[in-house]
Each structure stands twice: as C-alpha cells, then as structure tokens.
C-alpha cells in the first residue's frame, strides 16, 4: 500500500473525534470497506460479527440501548444481567431485539454464594463505625438477601431467549447448565485472569476465553485464585493464554483505542473486550460523579480494592479505598461487604461527594471519549485497521 496514503489515513484518524457523527461514520465505513482484513478472523467466525470488538457487559452501567448500537455497528454488544430477575432479563432482551437482529451477548455472574459469618460482618460494620458517625447515618442491619449467581431458573429464561452468546464472570456455572446453554446453540465466553483459569475454562466448555489483565476496570474475574499478587498485566497474560489454550482469546484490560486493539492482535488475541472506554458513551448509565471522574481521568489514580464489595475490583481511588484498603483483611465475602458501605455512599453522594462510591474504571480511563456507541465502535475498528496497516510497513 502507498505509504503516503497510510500516513494520511492516520492523520484523519487523529482528527476523527472532531468530525460530526455522520462524517465520522462515513470515514469509518470508508476505511472499513476498503480492506477490513483483520490479522486473525477466529473470533469473527465464531461470533459471526464483522469487527472483533466486544463491548463489555458492565453490571448496573449498561442498559438495553448500548448493546444494539454496538452490534449494529458490527461489534458484539453485551447486556449485563447481574441483579436482574428472569422477567427483567426477558423484558430487556425483548427491547434489544426490537433494535437489532445482529448477535447479542448476555452476561451473568456465577460467584459462589457467600458463607454467612455474623462475626465478620459485625466486625466490618465496626470498622466503618467512624464513617457512620461522621456522616450521621445508622449502621445497616446484615442483609437478608444477596445477589444470586446464575442458576437453573435463569438458565430456562436464557434458553427461551436464545442469545447468540452468553458470557460469565467468576468462572462458569455448573456443567449441566453450561451443557444446556450449548445445546440451545449459545456460544459460551468467560474471563480468565491467569493461565490456569484459562485452561480450566477451556476444559469446562468455554468457546472463547477473555484474558483479563490487571489494568481492567470493574471486578477481577478471578475464580481459582484469591491472591491479588497473581494478577498480571494484559501484555503479560494474553500471549501466555494464547500459548496455553486452543480456543480464541479475547484480550481485555486497558484497551481503549485502535492502538490497543492492534496491540492485542500482536499478542495473538483474536479480539478485544472493552469496558471503561464505553462508559463515556451517552448510552452508558452512569452517575454524574462517575461521568465527571471519567472526564477528568487524566491524573486520577485507580486502585484494585476489595473494600467496596468484598471482591477485588478496579475503581477510581477515593477516601474509603485509601483509608480502609485498597486491599484489606477481614472484609465480608462478595457481595456482602457492599451492604455496609451503601448508606455511606448514599449520604455522601447526597452531600455532593463520591468518596464512598464505587467508581469502576480501568487504567486507560483517560483515553475514553464521548461518542455514541455506534460511532465509537466504527471508529475503533477503523483506527485499529489503520494502525495495523501502518505496522505492516515495518520492513
């Protein structure tokens, strides 16, 4: 390819954000239709999508508007179902299906139900007591109900809805449920944070594995290890997972633009899953605090902490994370820890402060851009292809 043309394309890419939506789409479509040749088509073939970009399911942050926008652009839109009832999942998927007939991923947590330990829970509330006093709120009672993992009733609903893809966080549900989903024609994905977890997922029937590096926003998908020191970067994890398993690998964690996507392919991945970068899309359902933090992310620290929910997750650093964590002992099991923090968050937010909020964000948060999810997906694909073309001229 003509080198001058490649450089011009890159210059346009750099300006892309200044273009209005329709011009942006025209540029992206142009770049894509010319030679949308990805170095590795395994994920495209498996998921029957045009661009190897999976918008991450982000529980509580993605409603039914974002997935169809991403799938409509040729990526894979993902709808997070954590915390929803089967009826709510049916309703949301119904809404999504009116907007696109392209492939859809729906996502569930499959954590172990926490073992209740009143001594741990009351010690945790005691630890937070100075904050309750400072903010003038009563310590909450122990929660009577807690977040349910994926189970057979939900499995019935999913089989009825027949999404093309079902993804899980924190491992996989029991084998009989995985088998039922596969028999219904669903492709199964799950996140691995170590090579051992990736091998386990492949052995248990995952059709592709999301290799989630430690840069990632949100909860660590870790499920065979509880050791935070076992968590490594995307750059280190992806090639080792690629070498260890036969199914396609999807890189996740700190990928926020076309450069990151091209890098993932260089590491041997067949696609990417991106979360934080989609949080600034207008379709994202995030608080004003979260939006403001993302928009000024440049100098903001993120930290992997367990103090907000009981499981390690990457968030913007704030007071509770700094003072109690980031990683603390004696925190009640996921998701019980969250109930004790909830009244602090509510009261602080009512006073204009996010110092007790869980503002999930990955290490590349400063690269997030405010674009509609469709335009953003097209731009990511076009920019990644431009970058790959430029790199193809290395000789």
Ligand X SMILES: Cc1cc2nc3c(=O)[nH]c(=O)nc-3n(C[C@H](O)[C@H](O)[C@H](O)COP(=O)(O)O)c2cc1C
For ligand X, which stretch binds (CB under 6 A), given 124-132, 146-154, 323-331, 357-365?
357-365
Residue 172 near residue 193 (C-beta atoms within 8 A): no
- Residue (28 or 264) nearer to ligand X, CB: 264
CB of 11 to ligand X, least distance (A): 26
Nearby residues of 270 by Cβ (< 8 Å), 6 or more positions away? 40, 41, 42, 43, 44, 52, 208, 248, 249, 250
Q: Closest Cα to residue 175, out of 139, 154, 201, 153?
A: 201
CB of 191 to ligand X, least distance (A): 6
Q: Closest Cα to residue 251, out of 219, 224, 275?
A: 275
**Quick one: residue 317, left, alpha or beta (phi over 0 = left, psi -120 to 50 = alpha)?**
beta
Interaction between residue 357 and ligand X (CB under 6 A): no
Interaction between residue 212 and ligand X (CB under 6 A): yes
Q: How many chain residues are in contact with ligand X, going by CB under 6 A?
A: 28
Nearby residues of 381 by Cβ (< 8 Å), 6 or more positions away? 28, 32, 36, 50, 51, 53, 73, 74, 75, 258, 261
Strand order of the sheet with strand 77-80? 53-55, 271-274, 249-252, 208-212, 187-192, 165-169, 104-109, 77-80
- Residue (212 or 305) nearer to ligand X, CB: 212
Specify the 3-state DSSP secondary structure of 156.
Answer: helix
- Residue (162 or 285) nearer to ligand X, CB: 285
CB of 358 to ligand X, least distance (A): 9
Identify residues 104-133 at the interface with ligand X (CB under 6 A): 107
Q: d(Cα 74, Cα 60) in Å, to the nearest integer?
A: 24
Identify residues 78-107 at the interface with ligand X (CB under 6 A): 80, 82, 107
Residue nearest ligand X by beta-carbon distance:
275
Q: Which of 218, 248, 310, 343 binds ligand X (CB under 6 A)?
A: 218
Interaction between residue 368 and ligand X (CB under 6 A): no
CA 4 to chain centre: 37
- Residue (107 or 306) nearer to ligand X, CB: 107
Residue 233 near residue 215 (C-beta atoms within 8 A): yes
Q: Which of 65, 207, 215, 375 binds ligand X (CB under 6 A)?
A: 215
Identify residues 246-305 at the interface with ligand X (CB under 6 A): 252-255, 273-277
- Residue (274 or 338) nearer to ligand X, CB: 274
Q: Which of 49, 104, 364, 368 binds ligand X (CB under 6 A)?
A: 364
Residues lying near ligand X in the complex (CB under 6 A):
56-59, 61, 80, 82, 107, 167, 169, 191, 212, 215-218, 252-255, 273-277, 360, 362, 364
């Amino acid at each position: 390819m003509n080198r001058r043309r490649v450089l011009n394309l890159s210059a346009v890419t750099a300006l892309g954000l200044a273009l209005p939506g329709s011009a942006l789409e025209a540029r992206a479509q142009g770049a894509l239709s010319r030679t949308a040749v990805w170095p590795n088509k395994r994920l495209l073939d498996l998921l029957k999508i045009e661009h190897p970009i999976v918008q991450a399911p982000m529980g509580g942050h993605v409603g039914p508007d974002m997935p169809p926008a991403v799938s409509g652009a040729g990526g894979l839109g993902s709808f997070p179902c954590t915390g929803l009832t089967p009826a709510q999942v049916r309703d949301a998927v119904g809404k999504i299906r009116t907007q696109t007939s392209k492939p859809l991923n729906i996502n569930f947590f499959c954590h172990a139900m926490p073992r209740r330990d009143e001594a741990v829970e009351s010690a945790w509330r005691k630890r937070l007591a100075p904050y309750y006093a400072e903010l003038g709120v009563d310590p909450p009672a122990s929660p009577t109900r807690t977040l349910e993992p994926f189970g057979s009733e939900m499995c019935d609903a999913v089989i009825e809805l027949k999404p093309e893809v079902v993804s899980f966080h924190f491992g996989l549900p029991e084998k009989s449920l995985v088998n039922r989903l596969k028999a219904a024609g669903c492709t199964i994905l799950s996140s691995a944070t170590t090579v051992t977890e990736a091998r386990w997922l492949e052995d248990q029937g995952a059709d592709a594995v999301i290799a989630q590096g430690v840069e990632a926003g949100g909860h660590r998908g870790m499920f065979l290890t509880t050791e935070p020191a076992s968590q490594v970067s995307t750059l280190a994890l992806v090639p080792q997972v690629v070498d260890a398993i036969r199914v396609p690998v999807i890189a996740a964690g700190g990928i926020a633009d076309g450069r990151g996507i091209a890098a993932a392919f260089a590491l041997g991945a067949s696609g990417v899953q991106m979360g934080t970068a989609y949080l600034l899309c207008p379709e994202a359902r995030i608080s004003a605090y979260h939006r403001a933090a993302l928009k000024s992310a440049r100098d903001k620290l993120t930290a992997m902490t367990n103090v907000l929910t009981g499981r390690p997750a990457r968030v913007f650093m704030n007071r509770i994370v700094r003072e109690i964590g980031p990683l603390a002992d004696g925190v009640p099991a996921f998701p019980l820890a969250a109930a004790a923090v909830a009244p602090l968050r509510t009261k602080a937010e009512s006073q204009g402060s996010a110092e007790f909020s869980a503002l999930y964000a990955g290490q590349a948060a400063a690269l997030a851009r405010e674009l509609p999810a469709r335009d953003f997906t097209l731009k990511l694909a076009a920019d990644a292809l431009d970058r790959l073309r430029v790199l193809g001229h290395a000789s």
